[in-house]
Amino acid sequence: MLVTSGYKVEVLKLHTPLRRTMEISRRAVSWLEPVIDGEWDVLSAIEGEKRRFNAAEQLIHSARGRKAKYGFDREFPKMPSYLRRAILQHVIGEVSSWHTGSRKTPGSTRKKAEAGKSGQPHYMPVFYKDNMYRKEEDRVFLKLYSGTDWVWQEIRLKKTDLDYLRKNWSDVKAKSPVLVKRHKKYYLQFAYETSVCLTSKNPLQQRVCAVDLGINTDAACSIMEADGTVAARRFINFAAEKDHMYHVLNRVRKHQSKHGPQSVRGFWAYASRLNEEIARKTAGAIIQFAKENRADVIVFEHLDMRGKKKRGKSRQKLHMWKKQEVQRITEHQAHRLGMRISRVCAWGTSRYAFDGSGRLTRDPGNHSLAVFQNGKQYNCDLSASYNIGARYFIRELVKSVPETERSVLEAKVPAVQRRTSCVYADLKKLSDVMAG
């Protein structure tokens, strides 16, 4: 399996030439869009992407014995060839997308010229090796636009970024970096592609890290084996970071009531960045816990809240809950380590007690504390994580046996037939039946 990872390094100084390079690249995109759009009837009839690209390049770039139809070289003199081709490839893709969309929606009144303006400001130039990007040990050189010419300039990077790249990616070939601008700072974003082999153990030999993502507690994790043995547990909660974010949200609420919604855009952006940082830290802590306990699979709930209305006092917390972001980051990092990711049905994992005693109720004074029907009290998130791991193993164990044996198992443990109500106690019964 191929896993692509990205890492951004901040470029210190040189903001003026970097800004000029980005601006002239975007001007080239704007200049080429109407040209390629006007010639699209001819270009679209050419079969093969490479032949179509070559025909488009001949329209804008003059060569020995061939004069271009359009004056791109005169408008953008001395532009590096690889950058010109990258911009042209980007524009061809944009124009092709517009025409494909217009064919699918023939009644649309969207204008081609207006469609081009929406994509132009977001183009980021690519620095191809040797032509625009050169690396000599720890020194990095970029070919940048000075305002009159394209010249090689050495860029400075942070020592921490250089140490990280040297430690983690020195033996992996990097793809061409892309210039990115974030919050008035410029970054080079590198992409690294690695080949990994995911674990292929039999379910009976696997160890899983069952994760229950929550709002009050970021995650409750349990290391579980196929027979129901719980080897380790951990609560992950970044309380200080969440207090900081909620403090910012309170400032948003007060400021908005006095000065209107337009006055709090900066506060919202700051709160969003804090929320993203909590998601990254949560994912990193989950991976660290799974790695420490040699887990083969990380199991999440399938959380899909699209179309569901959020009501009550917790509406803002639910809106800010980065559950999908945590799962996305965890999945990427797990694949880099060779772990697999699995998801189970989320219905009822927190509603049913893990010991099979039925529905539980929440303690009114402490919402994270569950009260079972037999009177026992237990942490609700931890009970849910047991049920999540149990549902994974029940699914894998039942799926791995022949149909005739499966029918016998389901007759002896009827609860496993309905996956939406399976709990940890059902896994223990199934394990005892299979062992006997």
- What is the Cβ-side half-sphere exposure of residue 244, based on CA atoms within 13 angstroms? 13
Q: For the segment 77-134, what is each residue's pLDDT rounded down to a tens digit? A: 999 999 999 999 999 999 999 888 776 565 554 444 444 444 445 889 999 988 999 9
Q: Do 270 and 363 belong to one domain?
A: yes
- Report if residue 83 sits inside a domain: yes
Q: Do 428 and 288 belong to one domain?
A: yes
Tell me which of 80, 103, 122 is where a domain ends: 122
Percent residues over pLDDT 70 in the chain:
93
Q: Do 388 and 245 belong to one domain?
A: yes
- Report if residue 410 sits inside a domain: yes
Q: Which residues pair with 361 in a beta bridge?
A: 371
- Cβ atoms of 124 and 180 within 8 Å: the answer is yes
Q: Do 207 and 346 belong to one domain?
A: yes
Tell me which of 122, 147, 181 is where a domain ends: 122
Mean pLDDT by 10 residues, the chain (436 residues): 90 92 94 94 92 94 89 93 94 91 58 44 86 85 93 91 85 88 90 90 94 92 95 95 91 84 84 93 97 96 73 70 93 95 93 92 85 90 95 92 86 87 93 86
Tell me which of 122, 153, 177 is where a domain ends: 122
Q: Do 91 and 236 belong to one domain?
A: no
- Report if residue 238 sits inside a domain: yes
Q: Do 250 and 369 belong to one domain?
A: yes
Name the residue range of residue 96's domain. Answer: 11-122
Q: Do 245 and 382 belong to one domain?
A: yes
What integer pLDDT is reported at residue 210 of this predicted model? 97
pTM given for the model: 0.83
- Report if residue 49 sits inside a domain: yes
DSSP state at residue 420 = G
- Report if residue 181 sits inside a domain: no
Cα separation, 383 vs 425, in Å, equals: 11
What integer pLDDT is reported at residue 118 of this predicted model? 44
Q: Do 217 and 116 belong to one domain?
A: no
**H or E, element range at 426:** helix 424-435
What integer pLDDT is reported at residue 321 of this predicted model? 87
Cα 387 to Cα 214, 217, 292, 383: the distances in Å are 15, 17, 22, 6
Q: How many domains does the chain have?
A: 2
- Report if residue 236 sits inside a domain: yes
- Report if residue 155 sits inside a domain: no
DSSP string, 84-115: HHHHHHHHHHHHHHHHHHHHH-TT----HHHH
Q: Do 260 and 393 belong to one domain?
A: yes
- Report if residue 179 sits inside a domain: no
Q: Which of 31, 20, 18, 26 is nearest to 179 (CA)?
A: 18
Dihedral, CA atoms, 73, 77, 80, 85, nearest 10 degrees? -20
CB atoms within 10 A of CB 304: 10
The residue type at 268: W
Cα 318 to Cα 44, 274, 310, 313, 314: the distances in Å are 47, 15, 7, 10, 6
176, two tokens: 């061409």
- How long is the chain? 436
Q: Do 300 and 429 belong to one domain?
A: yes
Instruction: Tell me, rounded to whole angstroms, the distance of Cα 338 from its chain centroid.
Output: 18
